[in-house]
């Protein structure tokens, strides 16, 4: 009986053991790392964009002595408390798609690990750089990647890595309003505290900023990380910009030779330069209306053009711009800020009023608005691209009963037909 039991036990045990092993093999490639690199809002979004990352969850870890909540960790008394919890992101990833090494390379490249208990303007122990691992295999990879990145930082003139590496004890999920924070707050900026040092340093000549040192320039500080605010600014405002003031993208560490007054750690940041010196700077996403008003102030100053464009002013009849534009060769009149085509010379006529007049605008280039100012009922015309005031349209006052678009010349530029 004893032998039979042993055999039966073995027969029973072996299939159970095999099933367990099969299950382990099937799931061992799904791993987690808990990573802290400052404020968890932008970091969470960055990890979610990586192929092979299954989930990124904001939370708290590596603290003790009190309940892990946002309200508690931000208290003034905990700012430099070594027992405070760190803001972290729990990253669940498929190691067959994105390796632990690749994930750690992203971690080190996307913040400044040489700063202790801070990232940029975020100061305190909750913002410390930390890696909390789950397996000895992960620790081995962490040590190798950290050592390699330290060598790269040394060559770039940076100091010692302050990242704390510990086994994970417990992860506490952050409050729901912190999860997917950037998606819930579409107008803002992403903090970018990266050093610019990467594991695959491109061998290229030093970036030449000489063209940015002459005249008026617009420089957009972009992010090396995925930054939804940067992408939104491009897609909704900048991608169709055709203005005569050059617009250039740079990373924060590519501003050599320029005199910069604004902080450069937020992306996007919009900087206006004149002869290499910053005149104005704006941090974070800007709506189309806000961008063009800022650009208008930069380009026009306190001129008549600014009053017309943004205060619904009106040119003096027969002004100098009118005299310049009334008899040009063939071409198109463009928005003075955005560069978008507005009126073709083929639709221009002399109304004798002292203002430029056209029978119609370029298709889909303007918007129409009721204007009841000064006791009159008129239809105001604005540029669709920039929103600036252009003038008014008067029904049936053009040649052969066509409409007359009465347009202020000071907010236009002329582009001759090539």
For the chain, which residues make up each domain, given as ranges? 27-185, 210-300, 314-416
Q: How far apart are CA 26 and CA 31, in angstroms?
A: 12
**Do the Cβ atoms of 355 and 406 come closer than 8 Å?**
yes
Into which CATH architecture does domain 210-300 fall?
3-Layer(aba) Sandwich (3.40)
pLDDT at residue 121 is higher than 90: no
**Predicted structure pTM score:** 0.73
Annotation marks residue 39 as catalytic: yes
pLDDT digits (tens, 9 = 90+) for 389-417: 999 999 999 999 999 999 999 999 999 99
What fold does the segment set 314-416 form as a domain? 2.170.150
Intrachain domains 210-300 and 314-416 with the same fold: no
Lowest mean pLDDT among 91-105, 200-214, 247-261: 200-214
Q: How far apart are CA 407 and CA 298, in angstroms?
A: 22
Q: How far is CA 311 from the centre of its chain?
A: 30
The pLDDT of residue 308 is: 97
Q: Region of 3 please: left (phi>0), alpha (psi -120 to 50) or beta.
A: alpha
pLDDT digits (tens, 9 = 90+) for 312-339: 999 999 999 999 999 999 999 999 999 9
The pLDDT of residue 348 is: 97
Q: Which of 39, 190, 230, 406 is catalytic?
A: 39
Give the contacts of 330 (CB within 8 A, at least 6 positions apart): 345, 346, 416, 417
Q: Name the percent of the chain lying above pLDDT 70.
A: 92
CATH code matching the domain that covers 27-185, chosen among 3.30.1060.10, 1.10.1040.50, 3.30.420.280, 3.40.50.1820: 3.30.1060.10
Confidence at 206, pLDDT banded by 50, 70, 90: low
């Amino acid at each position: 009986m004893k032998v039979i039991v042993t055999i039966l036990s073995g027969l029973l045990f072996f299939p159970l053991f095999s099933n367990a092993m099969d299950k382990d093999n099937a799931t061992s490639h799904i791993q987690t790392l808990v990573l802290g690199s400052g404020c968890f809002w932008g970091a969470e979004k960055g990890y979610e964009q990586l192929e092979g990352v299954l989930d990124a969850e904001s939370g708290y870890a590596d603290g003790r002595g009190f309940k892990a909540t946002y309200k508690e960790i931000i208290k003034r008394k905990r700012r430099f408390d070594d027992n405070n919890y760190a803001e972290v992101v729990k990253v669940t990833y498929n190691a067959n798609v994105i390796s632990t090494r690749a994930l750690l390379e992203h971690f080190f490249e996307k913040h400044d690990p040489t700063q202790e208990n801070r990232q940029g303007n975020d100061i305190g122990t909750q913002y410390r750089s930390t890696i909390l691992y789950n397996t000895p295999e992960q620790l081995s990879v962490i040590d190798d990647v950290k050592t390699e990145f330290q060598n790269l930082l040394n060559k770039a003139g940076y100091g010692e890595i302050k990242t704390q590496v510990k086994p994970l004890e417990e992860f506490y999920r952050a409050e729901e309003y912190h999860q997917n924070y950037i998606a819930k707050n579409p107008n803002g900026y992403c903090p970018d505290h990266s050093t610019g040092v990467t594991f695959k340093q491109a061998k290229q000549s030093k970036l030449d900023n000489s063209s940015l040192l002459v005249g008026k320039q617009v420089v957009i500080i972009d992010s090396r990380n995925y930054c939804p605010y940067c992408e939104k600014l491009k897609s909704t405002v900048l991608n169709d910009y055709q203005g005569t003031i050059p617009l250039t993208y740079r990373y924060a560490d590519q501003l050599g030779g320029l005199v910069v007054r604004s902080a450069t750690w937020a992306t996007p940041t919009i900087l206006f330069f004149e002869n290499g010196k910053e005149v104005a700077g704006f941090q974070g996403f800007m709506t189309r209306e806000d961008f063009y008003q800022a650009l208008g102030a930069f380009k026009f100053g306190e001129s008549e053009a600014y009053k017309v464009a943004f205060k619904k002013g009106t040119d003096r009849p027969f002004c100098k711009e009118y005299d310049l534009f009334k008899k040009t060769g063939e071409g198109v009149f463009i928005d003075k800020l955005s560069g978008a085509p507005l009126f073709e010379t083929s639709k221009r006529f002399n109304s004798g009023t002292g203002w430029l007049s056209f029978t119609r605008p370029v298709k889909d280039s303007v918007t129409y608005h009721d204007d009841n100012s000064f006791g009159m009922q008129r239809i105001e015309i604005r540029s669709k691209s920039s929103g600036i005031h252009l003038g008014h349209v008067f029904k049936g006052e053009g040649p052969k009963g066509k409409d007359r678009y009465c347009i202020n010349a000071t907010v236009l530029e002329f582009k001759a037909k090539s």
